[in-house]
Amino acid sequence: MIEIGKWQILTVVRKKEFGIYLGEQEDSEETVLLPQKQVEPTIKVGDKIKVFLYRDSADRKIATVNPPYITAGEIAKLKVVSVEKIGAFMDCGLERDVLLPFKEQTGTVEIGKEYLVYMYVDKSNRLCVTMRLYSHLRTDPPYKKDDFFRGTVYECKPNLGAFVAVEDQYSGLIPNRELYQELKIGDVVEGRVMSVREDGKMDLSIRRPAYLQIDTDSKIILERIEKNGELPFTDKAEPERIRAEFGMSKSEFKRAVGRLLKEGKIEITEQTIRKK
């Protein structure tokens, strides 16, 4: 069966001035065209050739020897080239752009930006891509607790956190409690693996371990105090305010302030923190 979205080795059934027709064997009834501009002069009937299959602008199956950026069942980053009523079209390396339907978008996409997508064949036997990667990511990561990771944010859910494709292929989540900055779909993030669950999915953090993060946090707080003269609140402030001001949890803030106090660099009044 000639399937779109895949590489297949097909046989040259007949030659025409505009290209060659390929089938699974020489007497195949189902054939697909490889345009003449991609045909080697030495090709003859009976020869076998490796081609990728997709649909052209007239919705006909067509073959190409040029490698696309992605094939069916794969995940890759593609660039948005246009946004239409039915969805966005992305450059996949073929003469025809691939559709990212609106229902398959996890957020608003912008022309010229790249997003991580999975290619599939829809019910109409057409190639499409989706940003909904959760069920398509691998759950056999070569990671353990505290390993460094790098990945791409592919979905954000306010009640859960930011979903990340680690190495653009493994399933990970930055829980809300670890989100101290706003992340957007398409952002590339780095951090550490907090845990690998029994199902193979990872919990991630974009902050370093506490004993390392405290140096950075202390420096950020001291620089803010030096710039403004003081902080108009203390380490007893509400967690929401601390997170909004510094992108850190209350415990991290208190730990960093404690370090600065111990070093004699600041002092705390009833309502402020100021340089000593």
Q: What is the mean pLDDT of residues 214-228?
A: 84
| pLDDT of 191 above 80 | yes
Q: What is the mean pLDDT of residues 206-210?
A: 70
- By CB atoms closer than 10 A (0-12, 13-18, 19+), residue 208 is middle
Choose between 178 and 157: higher pLDDT. 157
Give per-residue pLDDT as tens, 69-90: 999 999 999 999 999 999 999 9
Q: What is the mean pLDDT of residues 9-29?
A: 87
Q: How confident is the model at residue 19 (pLDDT cuts 50, 70, 90)?
A: very high
pLDDT of residue 209: 61
Most confident of 107-116, 201-210, 231-240, 244-253: 107-116
Percent of the chain residues past pLDDT 90, beyond the cut: 61
* 33 alpha carbon, distance to own chain's centre: 34
Q: How confident is the model at residue 211 (pLDDT cuts 50, 70, 90)?
A: low
3-state secondary structure the chain: CCCCCCEEEEEEEEEECCEEEEECCCCCCCCEEEEHHHCCCCCCCCCEEEEEEEECCCCCEEEECCCCCCCCCCEEEEEEEEEECCEEEEECCCCCCEEEEHHHCCCCCCCCCEEEEEEEECCCCCEEEECCCHHHCECCCCCCCCCEEEEEEEEEECCCEEEEEECCCEEEEEEHHHCCCCCCCCCEEEEEEEEECCCCCEEEECCCCHHHHHHHHHHHHHHHHHHHCEECCCCCCCHHHHHHHHCCCHHHHHHHHHHHHHCCCEEECCCCEEEC
Record the pTM: 0.76
Domains defined for the chain, CATH in brackets: 7-64 (2.40.50.140), 75-132 (2.40.50.140), 137-205 (2.40.50.140), 210-275 (1.10.10.10)
